[in-house]
Amino acid sequence: MGVSKANRYAFFRGEIVPIEEAKVSIMTSTFNYGTGVFEGIRAYWNAEEEQLYIFRMREHFQRFLRNCRLLLIELPYSVEQLCEITVELLRKEGFQEDAYIRPLAYKSSEVIGVRLHDLESECAIFAVPFGEYIDRPGGARVMVSSWRRLSDNAIPPRNKIIGAYVNSALAKTEAHLQGFDDALMLKEDGHLSEGSAANLFLVREGRLLTPPVTADILEGITRATVIELARDLGLETVERELDRSELYAADEAFLCGTAVGIVPLIEVDHRPIGEGKIGPISKELRRLYQAVVRGQEPRYRHWCTPVYRAKVLASSAAS
Protein backbone atom coordinates (compact mmCIF):
# COMPACT_ATOMS: atom_id res chain seq x y z
CA MET A 1 0.00 0.00 0.00
CA GLY A 2 1.24 3.50 -0.81
CA VAL A 3 2.00 6.17 1.73
CA SER A 4 -1.16 7.76 3.12
CA LYS A 5 -1.76 11.37 2.23
CA ALA A 6 -4.54 13.86 2.72
CA ASN A 7 -6.92 14.76 -0.04
CA ARG A 8 -5.86 17.73 -2.14
CA TYR A 9 -8.83 18.41 -4.44
CA ALA A 10 -12.61 18.59 -4.64
CA PHE A 11 -15.19 18.92 -7.36
CA PHE A 12 -16.86 22.21 -6.48
CA ARG A 13 -19.11 24.55 -8.46
CA GLY A 14 -18.54 22.72 -11.70
CA GLU A 15 -14.79 22.11 -11.63
CA ILE A 16 -12.03 20.31 -9.76
CA VAL A 17 -10.30 22.81 -7.49
CA PRO A 18 -7.79 22.71 -4.62
CA ILE A 19 -9.60 21.52 -1.50
CA GLU A 20 -8.91 24.86 0.21
CA GLU A 21 -11.12 26.62 -2.34
CA ALA A 22 -14.14 24.34 -1.76
CA LYS A 23 -15.85 26.45 0.88
CA VAL A 24 -19.41 27.54 1.60
CA SER A 25 -20.80 30.41 3.63
CA ILE A 26 -22.22 29.92 7.12
CA MET A 27 -25.41 31.41 5.65
CA THR A 28 -25.86 28.48 3.25
CA SER A 29 -29.27 26.86 3.63
CA THR A 30 -27.91 23.34 4.08
CA PHE A 31 -25.59 24.46 6.90
CA ASN A 32 -28.53 25.97 8.77
CA TYR A 33 -31.26 23.43 8.02
CA GLY A 34 -29.65 20.19 6.79
CA THR A 35 -31.25 20.62 3.34
CA GLY A 36 -29.02 18.31 1.35
CA VAL A 37 -28.29 14.68 0.53
CA PHE A 38 -25.06 12.77 0.31
CA GLU A 39 -23.59 9.49 -0.82
CA GLY A 40 -20.81 7.28 0.46
CA ILE A 41 -18.80 5.38 -2.16
CA ARG A 42 -15.74 3.24 -1.53
CA ALA A 43 -12.67 2.75 -3.69
CA TYR A 44 -10.35 -0.17 -2.92
CA TRP A 45 -6.67 -0.51 -3.70
CA ASN A 46 -5.57 -3.75 -5.40
CA ALA A 47 -1.82 -3.88 -4.78
CA GLU A 48 -1.18 -6.82 -7.09
CA GLU A 49 -2.72 -5.02 -10.05
CA GLU A 50 -1.65 -1.56 -8.86
CA GLN A 51 -5.20 -0.45 -9.47
CA LEU A 52 -7.83 1.47 -7.52
CA TYR A 53 -11.35 0.11 -7.98
CA ILE A 54 -14.50 2.11 -7.26
CA PHE A 55 -17.21 -0.26 -6.06
CA ARG A 56 -20.71 -0.05 -7.57
CA MET A 57 -20.26 3.62 -8.40
CA ARG A 58 -23.09 3.77 -10.91
CA GLU A 59 -25.64 2.37 -8.43
CA HIS A 60 -24.56 4.92 -5.84
CA PHE A 61 -25.03 7.85 -8.21
CA GLN A 62 -28.39 6.50 -9.34
CA ARG A 63 -29.49 6.56 -5.70
CA PHE A 64 -27.89 9.99 -5.24
CA LEU A 65 -29.98 11.56 -8.01
CA ARG A 66 -33.08 9.73 -6.84
CA ASN A 67 -32.62 11.17 -3.36
CA CYS A 68 -32.12 14.64 -4.79
CA ARG A 69 -35.68 14.57 -6.11
CA LEU A 70 -37.10 14.26 -2.61
CA LEU A 71 -35.52 17.57 -1.59
CA LEU A 72 -36.25 19.28 -4.91
CA ILE A 73 -32.54 19.46 -5.69
CA GLU A 74 -31.94 19.85 -9.42
CA LEU A 75 -28.45 19.07 -10.69
CA PRO A 76 -27.19 19.50 -14.26
CA TYR A 77 -25.39 16.14 -14.20
CA SER A 78 -26.27 12.64 -15.35
CA VAL A 79 -25.16 9.44 -13.67
CA GLU A 80 -22.54 9.01 -16.39
CA GLN A 81 -21.19 12.54 -15.90
CA LEU A 82 -20.93 12.10 -12.14
CA CYS A 83 -19.04 8.84 -12.65
CA GLU A 84 -16.62 10.54 -15.05
CA ILE A 85 -16.06 13.43 -12.62
CA THR A 86 -15.35 11.00 -9.79
CA VAL A 87 -12.81 8.99 -11.78
CA GLU A 88 -11.08 12.22 -12.83
CA LEU A 89 -10.98 13.44 -9.23
CA LEU A 90 -9.43 10.19 -7.97
CA ARG A 91 -6.87 10.20 -10.78
CA LYS A 92 -5.87 13.69 -9.77
CA GLU A 93 -5.57 12.64 -6.13
CA GLY A 94 -3.44 9.62 -7.08
CA PHE A 95 -4.45 7.51 -4.07
CA GLN A 96 -2.67 4.15 -3.76
CA GLU A 97 -4.75 3.01 -0.78
CA ASP A 98 -8.39 2.51 0.09
CA ALA A 99 -10.47 5.67 -0.18
CA TYR A 100 -13.92 6.99 0.65
CA ILE A 101 -15.78 9.25 -1.78
CA ARG A 102 -18.34 11.76 -0.55
CA PRO A 103 -20.73 13.33 -3.10
CA LEU A 104 -22.94 16.11 -1.72
CA ALA A 105 -25.97 17.80 -3.24
CA TYR A 106 -27.29 20.72 -1.27
CA LYS A 107 -29.36 23.87 -1.18
CA SER A 108 -26.73 26.55 -1.66
CA SER A 109 -28.77 29.76 -1.37
CA GLU A 110 -27.60 32.06 1.41
CA VAL A 111 -30.97 32.86 2.95
CA ILE A 112 -32.78 32.42 6.24
CA GLY A 113 -36.04 30.50 5.97
CA VAL A 114 -37.11 26.87 6.30
CA ARG A 115 -38.12 25.57 2.88
CA LEU A 116 -37.02 23.53 -0.12
CA HIS A 117 -38.54 25.59 -2.93
CA ASP A 118 -37.06 28.66 -4.62
CA LEU A 119 -33.52 27.80 -3.56
CA GLU A 120 -30.42 27.20 -5.66
CA SER A 121 -28.70 23.81 -5.65
CA GLU A 122 -25.05 22.78 -5.90
CA CYS A 123 -23.04 19.58 -6.10
CA ALA A 124 -19.65 18.82 -4.56
CA ILE A 125 -17.48 15.70 -4.40
CA PHE A 126 -14.36 14.95 -2.40
CA ALA A 127 -12.44 11.81 -1.46
CA VAL A 128 -10.22 10.88 1.47
CA PRO A 129 -7.97 7.93 2.38
CA PHE A 130 -10.06 5.58 4.46
CA GLY A 131 -9.37 2.49 6.54
CA GLU A 132 -11.72 0.47 8.76
CA TYR A 133 -14.83 2.29 10.01
CA ILE A 134 -15.32 -0.27 12.80
CA ASP A 135 -11.92 -1.85 13.36
CA ARG A 136 -12.98 -5.05 15.09
CA PRO A 137 -11.55 -8.03 13.17
CA GLY A 138 -12.68 -10.37 15.95
CA GLY A 139 -16.27 -9.08 15.85
CA ALA A 140 -18.08 -6.04 17.26
CA ARG A 141 -20.10 -5.53 20.41
CA VAL A 142 -23.32 -3.51 20.12
CA MET A 143 -26.28 -2.34 22.15
CA VAL A 144 -29.91 -1.66 21.36
CA SER A 145 -30.17 2.11 21.47
CA SER A 146 -32.72 4.05 23.48
CA TRP A 147 -33.05 6.33 20.44
CA ARG A 148 -35.64 5.19 17.87
CA ARG A 149 -35.02 5.28 14.13
CA LEU A 150 -36.69 8.12 12.25
CA SER A 151 -39.79 7.13 10.31
CA ASP A 152 -40.55 7.49 6.61
CA ASN A 153 -43.28 10.02 7.41
CA ALA A 154 -40.87 12.20 9.40
CA ILE A 155 -37.47 12.22 7.68
CA PRO A 156 -37.22 9.19 5.36
CA PRO A 157 -34.22 7.03 6.37
CA ARG A 158 -34.13 5.46 2.89
CA ASN A 159 -32.77 8.80 1.65
CA LYS A 160 -29.32 9.91 2.80
CA ILE A 161 -30.50 13.30 4.04
CA ILE A 162 -27.81 15.36 5.73
CA GLY A 163 -29.97 16.60 8.62
CA ALA A 164 -31.30 13.11 9.37
CA TYR A 165 -27.94 11.81 10.51
CA VAL A 166 -28.24 13.55 13.87
CA ASN A 167 -30.47 10.56 14.66
CA SER A 168 -27.57 8.22 13.89
CA ALA A 169 -25.06 10.36 15.78
CA LEU A 170 -27.16 10.28 18.95
CA ALA A 171 -27.34 6.48 18.84
CA LYS A 172 -23.67 6.00 17.93
CA THR A 173 -22.41 8.25 20.72
CA GLU A 174 -24.75 6.69 23.27
CA ALA A 175 -23.24 3.30 22.40
CA HIS A 176 -19.68 4.65 22.51
CA LEU A 177 -20.16 6.25 25.93
CA GLN A 178 -21.43 2.92 27.27
CA GLY A 179 -18.45 1.00 25.94
CA PHE A 180 -19.97 -0.54 22.81
CA ASP A 181 -18.73 -0.36 19.22
CA ASP A 182 -22.07 0.64 17.68
CA ALA A 183 -25.82 0.81 18.22
CA LEU A 184 -28.78 -1.07 16.81
CA MET A 185 -31.96 0.94 16.42
CA LEU A 186 -35.62 0.01 16.70
CA LYS A 187 -38.53 1.49 14.78
CA GLU A 188 -41.21 3.36 16.66
CA ASP A 189 -43.27 0.14 16.76
CA GLY A 190 -40.40 -1.73 18.44
CA HIS A 191 -39.26 -3.85 15.50
CA LEU A 192 -35.59 -3.96 14.52
CA SER A 193 -34.51 -1.40 11.95
CA GLU A 194 -30.72 -1.15 11.41
CA GLY A 195 -27.45 -0.01 12.95
CA SER A 196 -26.55 3.63 13.47
CA ALA A 197 -25.29 3.80 9.88
CA ALA A 198 -25.41 0.25 8.52
CA ASN A 199 -27.93 -2.43 7.62
CA LEU A 200 -28.50 -5.44 9.86
CA PHE A 201 -28.58 -9.17 9.07
CA LEU A 202 -29.28 -12.09 11.41
CA VAL A 203 -28.49 -15.73 10.72
CA ARG A 204 -30.80 -18.46 11.99
CA GLU A 205 -30.74 -22.10 10.94
CA GLY A 206 -28.61 -21.36 7.88
CA ARG A 207 -30.81 -18.53 6.53
CA LEU A 208 -30.24 -14.80 6.48
CA LEU A 209 -32.93 -12.61 8.03
CA THR A 210 -33.03 -8.86 7.45
CA PRO A 211 -35.60 -6.08 7.93
CA PRO A 212 -37.43 -5.09 4.72
CA VAL A 213 -36.91 -1.76 2.98
CA THR A 214 -40.19 -0.62 4.57
CA ALA A 215 -38.65 -0.95 8.07
CA ASP A 216 -37.29 2.63 8.06
CA ILE A 217 -33.89 1.53 6.78
CA LEU A 218 -31.53 2.85 4.15
CA GLU A 219 -32.00 0.94 0.89
CA GLY A 220 -28.39 -0.11 1.13
CA ILE A 221 -26.30 -0.95 -1.91
CA THR A 222 -24.06 -3.12 0.25
CA ARG A 223 -27.23 -4.77 1.61
CA ALA A 224 -28.29 -5.62 -1.95
CA THR A 225 -24.76 -6.88 -2.64
CA VAL A 226 -24.86 -9.18 0.40
CA ILE A 227 -28.21 -10.64 -0.67
CA GLU A 228 -26.81 -11.41 -4.13
CA LEU A 229 -23.58 -12.88 -2.80
CA ALA A 230 -25.53 -15.01 -0.33
CA ARG A 231 -27.75 -16.34 -3.11
CA ASP A 232 -24.70 -17.27 -5.14
CA LEU A 233 -23.40 -19.16 -2.09
CA GLY A 234 -26.69 -21.06 -1.90
CA LEU A 235 -28.03 -19.10 1.08
CA GLU A 236 -31.62 -17.90 1.33
CA THR A 237 -32.39 -14.38 2.53
CA VAL A 238 -35.75 -13.65 4.15
CA GLU A 239 -36.82 -10.00 4.32
CA ARG A 240 -39.39 -9.47 7.06
CA GLU A 241 -40.11 -7.61 10.28
CA LEU A 242 -37.79 -8.77 13.06
CA ASP A 243 -38.49 -8.69 16.79
CA ARG A 244 -35.87 -7.63 19.30
CA SER A 245 -35.93 -11.08 20.91
CA GLU A 246 -34.90 -12.64 17.59
CA LEU A 247 -31.66 -10.71 17.86
CA TYR A 248 -30.85 -12.40 21.17
CA ALA A 249 -31.77 -15.82 19.73
CA ALA A 250 -29.75 -15.43 16.51
CA ASP A 251 -26.98 -17.87 15.61
CA GLU A 252 -25.02 -15.04 13.99
CA ALA A 253 -25.45 -11.37 13.15
CA PHE A 254 -23.59 -8.76 11.16
CA LEU A 255 -23.76 -5.16 10.00
CA CYS A 256 -23.07 -4.13 6.43
CA GLY A 257 -22.66 -0.85 4.62
CA THR A 258 -20.38 1.07 2.32
CA ALA A 259 -18.29 2.49 5.16
CA VAL A 260 -18.29 -0.58 7.43
CA GLY A 261 -18.13 -3.29 4.77
CA ILE A 262 -19.27 -6.44 6.61
CA VAL A 263 -18.75 -6.41 10.38
CA PRO A 264 -19.77 -9.57 12.29
CA LEU A 265 -21.41 -9.00 15.68
CA ILE A 266 -20.44 -11.20 18.64
CA GLU A 267 -22.34 -9.53 21.46
CA VAL A 268 -25.47 -7.43 21.97
CA ASP A 269 -26.49 -5.83 25.26
CA HIS A 270 -23.75 -7.86 26.99
CA ARG A 271 -25.30 -11.09 25.67
CA PRO A 272 -23.23 -13.32 23.37
CA ILE A 273 -24.63 -13.81 19.88
CA GLY A 274 -24.53 -17.51 19.09
CA GLU A 275 -21.26 -18.83 20.50
CA GLY A 276 -19.92 -15.33 21.09
CA LYS A 277 -17.52 -15.47 18.15
CA ILE A 278 -17.67 -14.89 14.41
CA GLY A 279 -19.87 -17.54 12.82
CA PRO A 280 -19.10 -19.46 9.61
CA ILE A 281 -21.65 -17.70 7.39
CA SER A 282 -20.59 -14.21 8.49
CA LYS A 283 -16.95 -15.20 8.03
CA GLU A 284 -17.46 -16.52 4.50
CA LEU A 285 -19.58 -13.56 3.38
CA ARG A 286 -16.99 -11.13 4.72
CA ARG A 287 -14.16 -13.00 2.97
CA LEU A 288 -16.03 -13.02 -0.34
CA TYR A 289 -17.07 -9.37 -0.07
CA GLN A 290 -13.51 -8.23 0.63
CA ALA A 291 -12.32 -10.07 -2.47
CA VAL A 292 -15.17 -8.76 -4.64
CA VAL A 293 -14.61 -5.07 -3.85
CA ARG A 294 -10.92 -5.32 -4.80
CA GLY A 295 -11.71 -6.81 -8.19
CA GLN A 296 -10.38 -10.24 -7.21
CA GLU A 297 -13.51 -12.19 -8.15
CA PRO A 298 -13.97 -12.25 -11.96
CA ARG A 299 -17.68 -13.05 -11.67
CA TYR A 300 -18.34 -9.66 -10.03
CA ARG A 301 -15.71 -7.59 -11.81
CA HIS A 302 -18.45 -5.56 -13.54
CA TRP A 303 -19.17 -3.89 -10.18
CA CYS A 304 -15.63 -2.46 -10.03
CA THR A 305 -14.61 0.64 -11.99
CA PRO A 306 -10.83 0.98 -12.47
CA VAL A 307 -9.46 4.46 -11.87
CA TYR A 308 -5.97 4.40 -13.32
CA ARG A 309 -4.53 3.98 -16.74
CA ALA A 310 -1.07 2.44 -16.50
CA LYS A 311 0.75 5.62 -17.46
CA VAL A 312 -1.27 7.70 -14.98
CA LEU A 313 -0.36 5.40 -12.11
CA ALA A 314 3.30 5.31 -13.12
CA SER A 315 3.42 9.10 -13.24
CA SER A 316 1.71 9.39 -9.83
CA ALA A 317 4.12 6.90 -8.25
CA ALA A 318 7.14 8.73 -9.65
CA SER A 319 6.01 12.02 -8.16
List the catalytic residues: 160
Residue 187 carries which DSSP code? -
3-state secondary structure string, 38-99? ECCEEEEEECCCCEEEEECHHHHHHHHHHHHHHCCCCCCCCHHHHHHHHHHHHHHHCCCCCE
Distances (CA, A) of 168 to 181, 264, 277, 288: 13, 19, 26, 28
- Residue 112 falls in which region: left (phi positive, over 0), alpha (psi -120 to 50) or beta: beta
The H or E element that residue 305 is part of is: strand 304-306
H helices of the chain, where?
A: 29-33, 57-70, 79-93, 165-177, 221-232, 244-249, 280-293, 310-318
Q: Extract long-range pairs of 301-306: CB within 8 Å, 24+ residues apart.
A: 303/55, 303/56, 303/225, 304/44, 304/53, 304/54, 304/55, 305/53, 305/54, 305/55, 305/57, 305/58, 305/83, 305/87, 306/51, 306/52, 306/53
